[in-house]
Chains A and B, each alone.
Chain A
Amino acid sequence: MAILKLDHVVKRFGDFTAVDDLSFEVAEGGIFGFLGGNGAGKTTSLRMALDIIRPSSGTIEILGRKPGRENASEIGFLPEERGLYRRMTVLDTIVYFGRLKGMDAAPAKKEAERLIERFGLSEWTKSMVEKLSKGMSQKVQVAAAMVNHPRLLILDEPFSGLDPVNQKVLEDLVLEMAKAGSTVVFSTHIMQHAERLTNRIVLLARGRKVFEGTQEEARARLPGRLMLVAEADPSTLPGIATATRAGAANGWNSWDVSLKPGVAPGDLLQACTQNGFALRGFESHRPSLHDVFIHLVGPEQETQP
């Protein structure tokens, strides 16, 4: 069953089309990456899913229902732009969000205390938010998003602004939530997090979907690349699209080779043997999601690797 489904969704702000005919589905369970550069339409799409704004056209289903606040008890949401009530204590803040999501006071407090401990904020429980560092404030926000044990956890750029240690803490938490049965949808323009965490991804550019599928399916969209160390130019070998000399040492040349679509590195190795092509080195290169993104979207929609 799709826990989130967008069907030909369009969102216009005046003359500007922020989301253009976007359709994709997120199956229940696992971690789903919603990827794209800045201004790709990720946040707008998530806001529509949460009924914060309404689509210009198209339909959205979330948890099998129309978007609306009645779904709030089953959803956790961490927005991209974060903020907290400065003059509220850490505990009160998390409990408040739990209660807004329909929790009773006692369970909300109990879960808030557990999360505070889990995030290492115990000594700040009664402190005003204004006394916290930025990293600690972000942890409080994450805790507020998770306090209701959401069936669907939506994280909009969750890693931005966090130091590497806290990024790791959050990654672990996301994995923990997915393991516990929550479906996690997170948007990011930092591809390394998506590579480490996601099962499936959607790639957006200029409001349009450019890819939907698994990471391997995304990588398969790129022509194979490898590095050959050979004396002669390999361009004449079958299956090679381009070969560029990258360097030379002791009479041997390094060649950056792109394969034609559908040609696997093993096919090239076989061709070398069959043609008596002298090889000293052969290194297959696995494309990153960043490479995939650049290939599919173009460098003007730059992301962070």
Chain B
Amino acid sequence: MKNILLVAAREYKQIASTRGFWVMLLVLPVVIGVSQIAGRFFRPQTDAAYVLVDQSGQYAAAIDRRLNLNYQRVELGALSAYVQRWELGGIQPDAVWANGERWFSDDQIAQFVADGGIEAAWEKIAPSKPSAAPAYVIDPPTYARAPLPADVTVDQGADAFAEGLAGPLKGDEIDTPEGERPLALAIWIPSEVSATSPVRMWTNGAPNTTLVDNVRNEITRVQRARALESSGLAPEIADSIANIAAPVDLSAPPQGAGREQVAIRSALPLAMVYLLLVTVMTTGSMMLQGVIEERSNKLLESILATIRPSELMYGKLLGLGAIGLTILGVWVGAAVGAALSVQGIVADIVNPSLAAIEPWMFGAMLFYFLAGYLIISMLYLAIGALSNSLQDAQAYLMPVIMIIMLPVVFMMVSVVQQPNGTFPIVMSWIPLFTPFAMLARLGAGVDVIEVLGTGAMLAAFVAIEIILLGRIFQASLLRTGQPPKLGGFLAMMMGKHTG
């Protein structure tokens, strides 16, 4: 065992000293970091302020109300998901938040606001939350209306108004009831809105189409109601018509069953499939080059005088496995760390994916990952031992990689569409593809029986592969001349090699 560990440590050190390893190790953390930074710069401003001057007196209250309703809709959705995740619907079964995240109508939102909104709902839920559940964090309103700064005049027209806000619109923050915020939008509504006297808006240059659309839609809605009123309808009827929305009861699948949800729940397992493919192909190539180097520069004889070929083989596998685990640890750690410590696209994907995975699945994922790593590493080892040069190795590798990669790529597409369809299930029972198929399907929900069955079959396959390919590896180490033909391979596998 000591020799195996010595070889493994050397292999690990050798691969870890290459630039390629570090590039691969750090690529995901760097991408996550960059995506977080980029997200901050390029995503629409979420915590922003707006300034509104409504000289007509008809629109300001409606705009404020609309933005608040939208904010409450987002919070209601998030709170409903929280309630469903921690099974808290029984606290008030008839509450709008008690039955899971779905599409909420304006009336439902209005009622929610009338009942006190998100703060009142959380006050009701908080005392009953389980101790393991984190407290629900109420985000501040996305858009806060800033009072007009004292030095900004409104009586000298729109241009003077905009000029007065030049500083905040160029990046200076502005005071709001929610604290200082960047000014995303300044809105000037004239006393009479018309084609010759339009509503004017100024942005700070950052993309914020949601806010602009909301404001424009609300002004349109109010104008529509006024137009109906002016045609003789009673104001209540005019308002009612302007507010007409198609009565749609949108049924969403329960969490974890819809395609989008399946994709999100499967994000981590699917990422592990890609990680497995990328790491094993890359580090396997490094190990293959190492074996070819050992063979071509004749240092194997010195090694084999001190340790058994099997110790050399297991040491290499162990070293490579440790490299794989290092990359896995750093990548998963970076993703989970990013999900837990920051908000953004990574957190949006990883958090639901983590929440969907039962604790035992982590063990299964690790098992499938390592088994897949072993299966392909062993192929690389045997090919390295058979090859006299990288050109030789490529001739063997190309068909092997194609045989593995193509079905896996098709299977990945199939899993996202139909995780428990015939193709992924069949692939799960072909040992060469079992790790990929089972990893990909785990997030969508797989029976424990299937996990145990494929796991047992996979373990047996790995053991047989190590024995048979191990014989090729050991018989080929000191071989000279051209690589053997098919009969030679079979003889090696049967242990009938000379030497």
Task: Report which A residues bind B (CB closer than 8 A).
Answer: 12-14, 47, 50, 52-54, 69, 72, 75, 77-79, 81-88, 96-97, 99-101, 141, 144-145
Contact = CB atoms under 8 A, between A and B. Distances in A.
A75 B311 CA distance: 18
A263 B298 CA distance: 49
Nearest to B3: A100
Given A83-B298, A83-B299, A100 B307 contact: yes
Contacts of B17: 87
Contacts of A85: 10, 14, 293-294, 299
In terms of DSSP, what is the predominant structure of the interface of chain B? helix
Contacts of B305: 50, 52, 72, 75, 77, 79
Q: Which 8 A-B pairs have the closest CB atoms?
A: A83-B297, A83-B299, A81-B298, A79-B301, A77-B305, A83-B298, A100-B306, A72-B306
A86 B298 contact: no
Contacts of A86: 293, 297
B479 to A, nearest CB: 11
B476 to A, nearest CB: 13
B65 interface: no
B359 interface: no
A100 B297 contact: no
Interface string B444-486: 0000000000000000000000000000000000100000000
A101 B306 contact: yes
A96 B302 contact: no
Given A47-B478, A52-B478, 9 more contacts: A72-B307, A75-B305, A79-B302, A82-B298, A83-B296, A83-B302, A84-B299, A85-B293, A86-B293
A213 B3 CA distance: 39
A52 B499 CA distance: 8
A47 to B, nearest CB: 7
B496 to A, nearest CB: 12
Contacts of A53: 478, 499
A77 B499 contact: no
B6 interface: yes
B301 A52 contact: yes
B498 interface: yes
Contact of A82 (B299, B311, B478, B499): B299
Given A53-B478, A99-B6, A69 B306 contact: yes
B105 to A, nearest CB: 67
Given A85-B14, A87-B14, A97 B306 contact: yes
28 contacts: A12-B498, A13-B498, A13-B499, A52-B478, A53-B478, A54-B499, A69-B306, A72-B306, A75-B305, A77-B305, A78-B302, A79-B298, A79-B302, A81-B298, A81-B301, A83-B296, A83-B300, A85-B10, A85-B294, A86-B293, A88-B14, A96-B10, A97-B302, A97-B306, A99-B6, A100-B307, A141-B302, A145-B302
A63 to B, nearest CB: 14
B138 interface: no
B404 interface: no
Contacts of B311: 69
Interface in B380-402: none
Contacts of B301: 47, 52, 77, 79, 81
B430 interface: no
B19 to A, nearest CB: 12
B193 to A, nearest CB: 74
A84 B10 CA distance: 13
B6 A83 contact: no
Contacts of B304: 50, 52
Contacts of A97: 302, 306
Contacts of A79: 298, 301-302, 305
B347 to A, nearest CB: 40
Contacts of B294: 83, 85
Q: Pick from B293, B294, B302 the residue with the most CB of A within 10 Å.
A: B302
B43 interface: no
A81 B6 CA distance: 23
A202 to B, nearest CB: 20
A77 B293 contact: no
A99 B7 CA distance: 10
Contacts of A81: 298, 301
B5 to A, nearest CB: 10
Interface in B289-320: 293-294, 296-308, 311
